[in-house]
């Protein structure tokens, strides 16, 4: 029997779950408005250009695995910038948009090489073994995606299993870039900022936040989104495990080893430049063997 908070609270919108993972995007509602929600792609891209691309280039990365590609927004930018990208996601409803883009631009050589697959973090290493080769230079898991993975057993073993798989997909010296919202702040205030470095929409975006404590522990944060614009209105619920910063850092150190280089950023800035960021971004390097 699982002890998940998810078992006492309906965390997902209606939809048919993909085998092996509870696909919160299965009803297609979030997928349909995702690009409206994230807002102007170019301004999102500018944020990344100042950080992600420079960081990947400075580290000499060429092959990148995007483990939560969703509709493909981050992967697409990396492909356009000349990186060799393998993109995976558990939701076929989200992947559909990435696949459409790839198909439309398949005559461009870099798009022809773009690999897009369905995969689940819990079985990732096996799911994509044929693409791993000597390991990726970088694995990215961005957009508050990792927090979708709940704690089904109450001891975070699935979080460790997933991060363990990300680590296994990296070559020695490769880097994992993984983010999560500032849940310490969400737990303190009970509210989620609707706009942030990732979500820049000019359309109405309202996020109603609920926090569920299970057996005395904050176990689940549900966000009810209302997105309105372009004659489209969409309401959907997404649920997250509230990763607290200190604990998340401990898990990274446990999986990558205490000697692994770890750098923390807030909203893509050095921590000294940002107070109470909306997102924490971790950069952790797999030690050389
Ligand atoms: C918030 S979307 C982010 C997509 C994209 N990175 C962005 O920022 O726009 C989160 C994605 O994580 C995927 N996801 C959630 N749990 C997963 C799992 N266990 N394995 C693989 N993908 C998962 C979802 O299907 C979804 O497409």
Q: Is 135 an active-site residue? A: no
By most ligand atoms within 8 Å of CB, the mutation choice from 36, 90, 178 for ligand 1 is 90
Q: pLDDT at position 44, please?
A: 64
For the chain (289 residues), the mean pLDDT of every run of 10, in chain order, is 60 50 76 70 66 93 97 92 96 94 96 97 96 97 95 94 98 98 96 75 77 91 83 84 98 97 94 94 95
CA distance 217 to 76: 38
Task: List phi, psi (to 5°) of 228.
Answer: -135, 135
In the chain the domains, ranked by start, together with CATH numbers, are: 5-285 (3.40.50.150)
Known binder of ligand: residue 103? no
Q: Is there a catalytic annotation at residue 203?
A: no
pLDDT at residue 43, rounded to an integer? 61
Token pair for residue 13? 């919108």
Residue 39 is predicted with a pLDDT of: 63
Q: Is 25 a catalytic residue?
A: yes
**Which helix or strand (DSSP H or E) is residue 242 part of?**
none
Spacing, Cα 278 to ligand 1 middle (Å) = 18
Q: Which atom of ligand 1 is nearest to the CA of 31?
A: 27
H-helix or E-strand containing 104? helix 92-104
Catalytic residue among 181, 237, 243, 282: 181
- Residue 172's H or E segment, with its range, is strand 170-181
What's the gap in Å between 210 CA and the centre of ligand 1? 20
Say whether 148 is catalytic: yes
Among 238, 241, 263, residue whose Cα is nearest residue 59: 263
Among residues 199, 240, 241, 265, the one annotated as catalytic is: 199
Predicted local confidence at residue 17, as pLDDT = 46
10's CB contacts (< 8 A; 6+ apart) are none
Active-site residue, 199 included: yes
Could you tell me the distance, in angstroms and rounded to a whole number, from the CA of residue 69 to the centre of ligand 1? 6
Q: What is the Å distance from ligand 1's center to 59 Cα? A: 25
pTM, two decimals, is: 0.90
68 assigned ligand-binding residue: yes
The answer to whether residues 121 and 164 touch, using CB atoms and an 8 Å cutoff, is no
pLDDT of amino acid 234 = 80
């Amino acid at each position: 029997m699982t002890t998940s908070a998810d078992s006492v609270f309906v965390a997902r919108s209606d939809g048919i779950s993909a085998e092996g993972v509870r696909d919160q995007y299965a009803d297609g509602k979030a997928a349909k408005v995702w690009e409206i929600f994230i807002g102007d792609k170019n301004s999102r891209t500018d944020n990344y250009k100042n950080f992600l691309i420079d960081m990947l280039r400075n580290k000499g990365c060429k092959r990148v695995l995007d483990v939560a590609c969703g509709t493909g927004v981050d992967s697409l930018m990396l492909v356009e910038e000349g990186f060799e990208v393998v993109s995976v996601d558990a939701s076929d409803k989200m992947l559909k948009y990435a696949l459409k883009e790839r198909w439309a631009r398949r005559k461009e050589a870099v798009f022809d090489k773009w690999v897009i697959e369905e995969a689940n973090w819990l079985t990732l290493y096996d799911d994509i073994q044929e693409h791993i080769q000597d390991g990726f230079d970088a694995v990215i898991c961005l957009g508050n995606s990792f927090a979708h993975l709940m704690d089904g057993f109450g001891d975070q073993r699935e979080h460790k299993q997933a991060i363990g798989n990300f680590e296994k997909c990296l070559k020695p010296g490769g880097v994992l870039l993984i983010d999560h919202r500032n849940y310490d702040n969400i737990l303190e205030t009970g509210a989620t900022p609707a706009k942030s470095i990732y979500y820049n929409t000019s359309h109405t975006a309202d996020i109603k936040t609920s926090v569920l404590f299970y057996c005395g522990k904050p176990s689940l944060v549900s966000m009810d989104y209302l997105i309105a614009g372009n004659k489209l209105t969409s309401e959907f619920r997404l649920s997250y495990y509230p990763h607290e910063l200190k604990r998340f850092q401990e898990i990274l150190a446990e999986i990558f080893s205490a000697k692994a280089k770890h750098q923390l950023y807030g909203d893509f800035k050095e921590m000294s430049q940002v107070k109470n960021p909306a997102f924490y971004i971790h950069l952790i390097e797999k030690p050389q063997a």
